[in-house]
Amino acid sequence: MPDDPRAQTHFGFETIPAADKTGRVRGVFASVASRYDLMNDLMSGGLHRLWKDAMVDWLAPRAGMRLLDVAGGTGDVAFRVLARARGSHATVLDLTGPMLAEGRARGQAKALGDRVDWVVGDAMALPFPDASFDAYTISFGIRNVTDPAQALREAFRVLRRGGRLMVLEFSKVSPPLLERAYDAYSFEVIPRMGGAVTGDRASYQYLVESIRRFPDQETFLGMIRDAGFANAAFRNLTLGVACLHSAWKV
């Protein structure tokens, strides 16, 4: 889709040429990289840490696992997997060099340098051979991809038979009263907070808009199945504010 000069996609609530989205997303995360982890704590009240723990719990990493963490930025998920699985190795891929620089510095502080590779790359065209990894994780990243269906096909390609896909993403809140409160917080508070903490209100306006444009739980489950995965399932977290999707390459 991005190669078609006539194709369009969304950037938050804005409609833009599909070919422009990758660059726009790269600009968002380059702008906020140094304060990204702090903003995650502030925006979620620390809940993102529990959601990532739940993701790794469901993944149940095993010794010697080779993990690809896409849109892995500062290494939050990769470090959790490495801490649980003896002899495991993580490759963290991200579109944005400054995000990876933050993660590399954290990895060095944790003395994990030889167990993590940091790669600048695009989820829609992964620079790895077929059947290279035992697990593929992506946390709060797939909604920023120009063509999520292509990213899922790439995930399927680079996983070995028996490999596991895990996606953590914001999703559809169910109770109507909670949804209204969540919208008010998202659109009124988060962009202002982002402006105060990072100096970039516009990037956080985009991020909350991108959440509303992402498919709901069942629709995304269908996309995972369409990419070739089996045994696909999801678990809502915090009443659907976030959702975990899991599937296997069989």
Pairing of strands 14-17, 8-11: antiparallel
Residue 166 counted as domain residue: yes
Task: Kindly report the CATH number assigned to the domain that includes residue 85.
Answer: 3.40.50.150
Domain extent at residue 120: 20-174+204-248
Tokens of 31: 């702008």
- pTM, full prediction: 0.90
Residue 169 counted as domain residue: yes
Residue 142 counted as domain residue: yes
Q: How far apart are the first and last CA of the chain?
A: 27
85-114 tens-digit pLDDT: 999 999 999 999 999 999 999 888 888 878
pLDDT confidence of residue 183 = 87
- How many domains does the chain fold into? 1
Judge whether 231 and 247 are in contact, CB under 8 Å. yes
Residue 12 counted as domain residue: no
Residue 194 counted as domain residue: no
Query: DSSP label at 125?
Result: B
pLDDT confidence of residue 81 = 97
Residue 3 counted as domain residue: no
Judge whether 16 and 5 are in contact, CB under 8 Å. no
Residue 81 counted as domain residue: yes
Pairing of strands 89-94, 66-70: parallel
Residue 147 counted as domain residue: yes
